[in-house]
Amino acid sequence: MKAAVRAWAELLRVSALFTVPGDALAGAAAIGRRPGRGTALAVGASLCLYEAGMALNDWADRDEDAIDRPHRPIPSGRITPGAALAAAGALTAAGLTLAARAGRPALTVATGLAATVWAYDLHLKHTPAGPAAMAGARALDLLLGATATAGTGAGSVGVKRPVGATGTSRATRNAGTVLPTRTARVMGPAQPMRRARTTHPDVRAAVPAAALLGAHTYAVTAVSRHEAQGGSTVAPLGALAAIVALGAAAVREQHGSRDLPPVPGKGGPGDRHLAGASAPSLLLTALTAAYLRTAAKPLLHATLNPSPPLTQRAVGGGIRAMIPLQAVLAARAGAAGTGLAVMGLVPLARTLARKVSLT
């Protein structure tokens, strides 16, 4: 039993699971929403689809792994090819089911994500379009979090309330509660009902964050194409340059001054905002430094010595760097708490990576 659990943990690369929840959390932060039920559904769908891709990847590569990685679960005989393919199908179905519970837009994005994962594993990864397909999958994963959060989050439904009434509770407004018709009749004609302005977050606001995450994924995937044989200096060098450029781009706060008045007066609230703005900036800088440290150092080593072990280590570092990058994306959107929560996954991922390889 223990051996079987170990084999499935290796097949599914469970140590990489901690790089997934931050996609949905960063997506929610990008549209200015707190994580909610939709975000949780997106996380569950993402985890299922990610693991489906892992199982399908080993099924598709079973002949290649028999030569380059005979210790993997399928070529070593610990898991049959049929079981791996069945797991991929079941996990895909579970992911789409969870996404459907977050609404039709979320299901649409999840369907595109699932199609990209299957296309990559079955064909695209052996073509020049492979890195772009993997980058697209990660970008879609972040957009799934944004879409699911927008579709089920607070404030997405209008609130009916009496004209001039000020007693509506915040909980009622946030829950999008519509007062029953009988209540309206009791209030009488002096207080006609009207629908408050509906707030629909623009999911397109998450596109820049998705693009940054996709660019990182592209760079790491380009390096991973050489991890078994090594020998490529160009791929890790190009990825290193991309990582540094992404760090510089990510540290630029897009929303850090959204609450700041155009011309703050002396001693006014704008000045107090400026005085307290250093804390978010410091957090963003620290998170960006963690991202660069995690991804850049092993890439530099692989550039200087592109051996298979160092190339695989660079790929592992790039995968682990997803977590601080997600934290950066959340923090730059103004969700410092979400960023710190995402960073809390780092020690868990590091501990599990010692037991189950990321690659």
Judge whether 163 lies within some domain. Answer: no
Between residues 207 and 198, which one has the greater pLDDT?
A: 207
Pick the range with the lowest mean pLDDT from 57-66, 181-190, 192-201, 327-336: 181-190
Residues 6 or more apart in contact with residue 255 via CB below 8 angstroms? 32, 332, 333, 334
Q: How many domains does the chain have?
A: 1
Judge whether 192 lies within some domain. Answer: no
Judge whether 140 lies within some domain. Answer: yes
Pick the range with the lowest mean pLDDT from 43-52, 120-129, 176-185: 176-185
Give residue for tokens 């002949």: 63
Judge whether 191 lies within some domain. Answer: no
Kindly indicate the confidence band of residue 178, based on its pLDDT and cuts at 50, 70 and 90. very low
- Contact status, residue 48 vs residue 94, Cβ threshold 8 Å: yes
Domain coverage including residue 225: 2-156+202-260+276-348
Residue 270 has pLDDT above 80, yes or no: no
Residue 166 has pLDDT above 60, yes or no: no
pLDDT of residue 226: 80
Give residue for tokens 């008045």: 261
**Helical H segments across 153-265, by residue range:** 170-175, 181-187, 207-224, 234-250
- Contact status, residue 39 vs residue 143, Cβ threshold 8 Å: no
Backbone angles phi, psi at 161, to 5 degrees: -155, 160
pLDDT of residue 99: 98
pLDDT of residue 201: 74
- Contact status, residue 230 vs residue 306, Cβ threshold 8 Å: yes
Q: How many residues does the chain have?
A: 359
Judge whether 356 lies within some domain. Answer: no
Judge whether 34 lies within some domain. Answer: yes
The C-alpha R_g of the chain, in whole angstroms, comes to 23
CATH number, position 341: 1.10.357.140
pLDDT of residue 195: 43
pLDDT digits (tens, 9 = 90+) for 38-60: 999 999 999 999 999 999 999 99
Judge whether 47 lies within some domain. Answer: yes
Residue 276 has pLDDT above 60, yes or no: no
pLDDT of residue 231: 73
Of 108, 119, 173, 144, which Cα lies nearest the Cα of 27? 144
Backbone angles phi, psi at 168, to 5 degrees: -65, 130
**260 vs 320: CA distance, rounded Å:** 35
Residue 101 has pLDDT above 80, yes or no: yes
Q: 337 to each of 22, 80, 89, 145, 210, how far by Cα in Å?
A: 12, 43, 36, 17, 20
Pick the range with the lowest mean pLDDT from 72-86, 272-286, 311-325: 272-286
Between residues 62 and 178, which one has the greater pLDDT?
A: 62
As a whole number, the mean pLDDT across the chain is: 83
pLDDT of residue 229: 75
Cα angle 20, 325, 322 (rounded to 5 degrees) comes to: 40
Give residue for tokens 């996954």: 345
Q: 243 to each of 22, 154, 192, 312, how far by Cα in Å?
A: 18, 35, 57, 17
Kindly indicate the confidence band of residue 151, based on its pLDDT and cuts at 50, 70 and 90. confident
Q: Is 169 exposed, middle or buried (0-12, 13-18, 19+ CB in 10 A)?
A: exposed
- Contact status, residue 51 vs residue 119, Cβ threshold 8 Å: no
**56 vs 120: CA distance, rounded Å:** 10
Judge whether 358 lies within some domain. Answer: no
Q: Cα 142 from chain centroid? A: 4
Give residue for tokens 């009434």: 165
Residue 185 has pLDDT above 60, yes or no: no
Give the residue-averaged pLDDT of 134-160. Answer: 79
User: Quick check: pTM over 0.85?
Assistant: no
Q: 336 to each of 29, 120, 212, 279, how far by Cα in Å?
A: 9, 34, 18, 10
